[in-house]
Amino acid sequence: MIKFFKEKYSLSEKGAKDFVISVAWTIFMDLSFMLPVVFSFTFIDDFLSPLMKNSTNITLNTTYYIIMGLSFLFVMFVIVYFQYNSTYTKIYEESAKNRISLAEKLRKLPLAYFGKKDISDLSSTIMEDATQIEQLFSHAVPQLYGAIITTSIMAVLLFFYNWQLAIAAFWVIPIAVFVFYLSTKFQKKTQEGLYLKKRDITDKIQESLDSAQEIKAYNREDYYNGVLNKKLDNYEHSLINGELLIGAFINLSYIFLKLGLPSVILYGAYSLINGSISPFVYFVFLVVAARIYNPVMAALDNFAALIYLKVRINRMNEMKKMPKQQGAPIFFPTHYDIEFKDVDFSYLEGIQTLDKVSFVAKQGEVTALVGPSGGGKSTVAKLAARFWDIDRGLITLGDQDISKVDPEVLLHNFSIIFQDVTLFNSSVKENIRLGKKDASDEEVERAAELAQCSEFISNLPNGYDTLIGENGEKLSGGERQRISIARAILKDAPIILMDEATASLDAENESKIQQALIQLIKNKTVIIIAHRMRTVTGADKIVVIKDGSVFEQGSPSQLIEKNGLFKMMLEKQIKN
């Protein structure tokens, strides 16, 4: 049972056990709500028994009924307390663990997964889907199972008590459930469609916010508003139609359930007249029939919610089943040469991105990757740090296969500077300290000086303590790039990857940073990617990548003498 709930509802083992306990307490709670009815029956039976015997001597033990009533209230209070704790508190704890486990899962996924998903999609899965699951598990799912089991227990007891009246009371339930079942396929299809449409709207809003500058620059506000309004209208139309049709089925089920009480009234009256039942039995079934259908209606409502829940659970299971990048937690290479041996790689199945790429980036040398745009240079650099896993071939660091090393452990050896810089809404100091979390203020400022950041930082309102806004929106592109270079300098890792690291800098600052990098890269493995040929002429080795393959490689002088693609690109830039 634990395994069934764990897999069905994407729960941890403890969460599945807590769920079973919450269902059990919900059953006890539903049954405890019949205690007032038992109290009433006992009281009425004592009151009516003398009358049935034509006696006027009616005596009731007041103390007995006070104790009974207080005892029932105490039992109900205890059961409700434990039911609330098991159903709400435990579910919220499980939800918190679920969010953390999803975040940990994302931390271990290859970046290829993130290439297929956008940020709003992932954040919605972690936050919105987790919240919906939390709400449904605390307010609907245990109650659904509780209602089904409680109704079944009551049905069995009443059949033993009087099977004819039990049939009169319960014949409507199978019909109502069958009518509801007919709608489940439509409900599932509708919920999946609504979910995708809502996610599409979220993506469109996210895209509009991210591209606000471009939308305004090209006067496309009306177009984007029109597209968004059309999606909203489509979603609203589908939502109304779905609610109407689903509501029709649910209400039709309710109509059948409402026929149960008249059935008990009519058949009970007939049985009472012909003397086959006593007035007390008739009264018992009238009271039970007035209450027994409420849990069934709640179960139908909750079952509709369960269909809604399934769509979200499938999304989470998709993420949880993604293969993680794993490897040895300890890695101490004897040197830091990086070698590619016949490496094949593709982002999408069937579309080759790299084809038999082979080269060596030696420690103490600068290896430059050049070539036409889209040829695979950035992909090669990211594969070296195991941002993705290759399809075929081998990548080694210090003669050790990097696919056998945990990615987080492997990345301790890399300082990476990308063209697209990511900064956080924090101070300049903390953004630089990302390179070394325990760095002193003096170390941070020293790294900033080497990265030519000191001048613009001194002009900020609070210097190193200035908040720079979301993704460094208060800084220019060149300033943001220099902050990222300062991070890499502070980390001082044995391997440096630079992807167009100086693309946003003017010639003067680029020259200054290159002088600083000369000190940084001593005795390190350096892989740089650049389109400016003059920035790589001082490299020890150049690897020209075209159409996903190594077109030529060698020192700058060797490639110039070869009169190949590198020389052609160099001459073309000199002419321009």
Last residue of one domain, picked from the residues 268, 292, 320: 320
Residue 424 lies in a domain: yes
**Rounded (10°) angle between helices 90-108 and 13-32:** 160
Task: Say yes or no: 295 and 353 in one domain.
Answer: no
Could you tell me the pLDDT band of residue 260, with boundaries at 50, 70 and 90? confident
Residue 89: predicted pLDDT: 82
When pLDDT is averaged across residues 518-541 and rounded to a whole number, the result is 79
Contact between 535 and 504 under an 8 Å Cβ cutoff? The reply is no
CA quadruple 271, 272, 275, 279: dihedral positive or negative?
A: positive
At 154 the pLDDT is 82
The answer as to whether 111 is a domain residue is: yes
Please report, as a single letter, which amino acid is at residue 399.
D
Q: CA 22 to CA 146: how far, in whole Å?
A: 9
DSSP per position, 459-477: TSTTGGG-B--GGGTTS-H
For residue 541, name the pLDDT band (cuts at 50, 70, 90).
Answer: very high
φ and ψ at 357, to 5 degrees? -80, 125
Residue 383 sits in the same domain as residue 275:
no
Instruction: Name residue 367's beta-bridge partners.
Output: 527, 541
pLDDT confidence bin for 93, thresholds 50/70/90: confident
| H-only helix segments in 211-278 | 212-217, 221-258, 260-273
Q: How far apart are CA 19 and CA 87, in angstroms?
A: 7
185: Cβ contacts below 8 Å, ≥ 6 apart: none
Domain count, the chain: 2
Cβ–Cβ < 8 Å for 204, 231: yes
Choose one of 266, 290, 320: the last residue of a domain.
Answer: 320
Last residue of a domain, one of 291, 320, 349: 320
Whether residue 83 has pLDDT greater than 80: yes
For residue 78, what is the domain's CATH number? 1.20.1560.10
Instruction: Examine the domain organization and report whether 346 and 299 are in the same domain.
Output: no
State whether 100 and 28 are in the same domain.
Answer: yes
186 in a structural domain? no
- Going by C-alpha positions, the residue among 252, 298, 336 that lies closest to residue 523 is 336
Residues 309 and 344 in one domain: no
State pLDDT tens for residues 200-245: 887 788 778 777 778 888 888 888 888 888 888 888 888 888 778 7
The enclosing domain of 354 has a CATH number of: 3.40.50.300
Residue 49: band (very low, low, confident or very high) from pLDDT cuts 50, 70, 90: low
pTM of the model: 0.65
pLDDT digits (tens, 9 = 90+) for 422-468: 888 889 899 999 888 889 999 999 888 888 888 889 888 888 998 88
d(CA 261, CA 288): 9
In a domain, 238, yes or no: no
Query: Is residue 128 domain-shared with residue 269, that is, in the same domain?
Result: yes
3-class DSSP state of 526: strand
Do residues 302 and 438 both lie within one domain?
Answer: no
Which helix (H) or strand (E) covers residue 416, if one does?
Answer: strand 414-417
**Same structural domain, 364 and 306:** no
Question: Is the same domain home to 310 and 358?
Answer: no
- Crossing angle for the helix pair 221-258 and 279-320, nearest 10 degrees? 150
- On whether both 427 and 562 belong to a single domain, the answer is yes
> Would you say residue 193 lies in a domain?
no
pLDDT of residue 323: 74
- Asked if 312 and 350 sit in the same domain, the reply is no
Residue 400: inside a domain, yes or no?
A: yes
Give the model's pLDDT for residue 342. Answer: 94
Whether residue 370 contacts residue 560, with contact meaning beta carbons closer than 8 Å, is answered with no
Report the pLDDT averaged over residues 491-501.
85
Structural domain contains residue 359: yes
Q: How many CB atoms lie within 10 A of CB 93?
A: 13
Give dist(CA 491, CA 436) in Å, integer: 5
Number of C-alpha atoms within 13 angstroms, CB side, residue 509?
Answer: 21
Domain co-membership, 166 together with 65 = yes
Residue 86, in any domain of the structure: yes
Of 183, 141, 142, 168, give the one whose Cα is nearest residue 292: 168
Measured CA distances, 320 to 7, 96, 120, 348, 435 (Å)? 11, 16, 18, 21, 30
What would the mean pLDDT of 407-411 be, rounded to a whole number? 89
Q: Identify the domain containing residue 70 by its residue range.
A: 2-170+256-320
